[in-house]
Amino acid sequence: MFDVAIIGLGAAGYTAAIYAARYKLSTLIVGEEEGGMSVTAAEVGNWPGDIEVAGADLLARFKKHALNFSEVTHKNVRVEKVEKTKEGFRLHFVGGGSEDARSVIFATGSRKRSLGAPGEKEFAGKGVSYCATCDAFFYRGKTVAVIGGGDAAVEGAAIVAQVAKQVYLIHRRKELRAEPYWSQKLKEKTNVTFVLERTVKEIKGDQRVTGIVLDQPFEGGSALKLDGVFIEIGSVPSVEVAQALGCALDERGYLQVDAAQQTSVPGVFAAGDVTSASNHFAQIVTAAGEGAVAVSGVFEFLQG
């Protein structure tokens, strides 16, 4: 039986694993995908000590650091269910198998929010993408739209603009919500057109995306001819497994945690984008901080 099982292979999870190992806790860190949302960041400019670093490179360093400790066991598998046992908790994996732990940290992060427009599901992977920084390369010399007004959308549009012929940034509000740094970088691009106070009614195509229909006319018409659509409208926390265990959610659907990052279920903690902590400020630095605090809470819990 492990002292602690950490579910999630992102910034919060790997930081938690590092701290758990330094507390000499036997640690399982498990998840289906490496890196979480952080790996989609082409440029991280606010991690202390690095003026600029790619998200994937930063998370690879996190992983290397964590797995350097003999106390840490790593598994690449999705956790299907966590149940309470007499001694602690049992993690059940997709495809079979399980592991036991005295405590659990959910560092399951979040997943991309869907637009819900007709044509979105039909053309997912056929011109509809949810990661501009991941898929920009495939649209060299083409015309695309990026939907959203937050950091992910504006950063993504700036990245895509480096290779695309024309980029439309479509946002339902009059003002962008992104960090001013990224907003300014985007406004400096000569091949970016801002389409504000409009939403996408439909994504159209044949074998692949051919365009979109807006809810209001833009430059004389409601249709835009496109080769691709990047949907960057935020994310939703991945709480399903924790919720099934009985962990309470806040009014926005995030896991409620106390000052020690403990959920409403004793012995179950949470860290990173999945929680109500850090004023819902989803950053790599806050995720890492919450991961460290969660392990401090775990250590106190295990001491009884």
Active-site residues, by number, are: 131, 134-135
**Cα Rg of the chain, angstroms:** 21
Strands (DSSP E) contained in the chain are 4-9, 27-34, 72-76, 79-84, 89-93, 98-101, 104-106, 110-112, 128-129, 143-147, 166-171, 192-196, 200-205, 209-218, 221-225, 228-231, 235-237, 268-270
Provide the sign of the torsion angle of the four alpha carbons 281, 287, 291, 292, taken in this order: negative
Token look-up 């159209």 returns 204
Q: What whole-number distance in Å separates Cα of residue 280 and Cα of residue 180? A: 19
Region of residue 25 (left: phi > 0; alpha: psi -120 to 50; beta: else): beta
Beta strand spans in 109-191 (E):
110-112, 128-129, 143-147, 166-171
Nearest 10 degrees: CA dihedral of 12, 75, 112, 297?
-30
186-222 as b/e: b if 16+ CB within 10 A: beebeebeebeebebbebbbeeebbbbbbeeebeeee
Is 14 exposed, middle or buried (CB count within 10 Å of its CB: 0-12, 13-18, 19+)?
A: buried
State how far the Cα of 266 lies from the Cα of 245, in Å rounded to an integer.
11
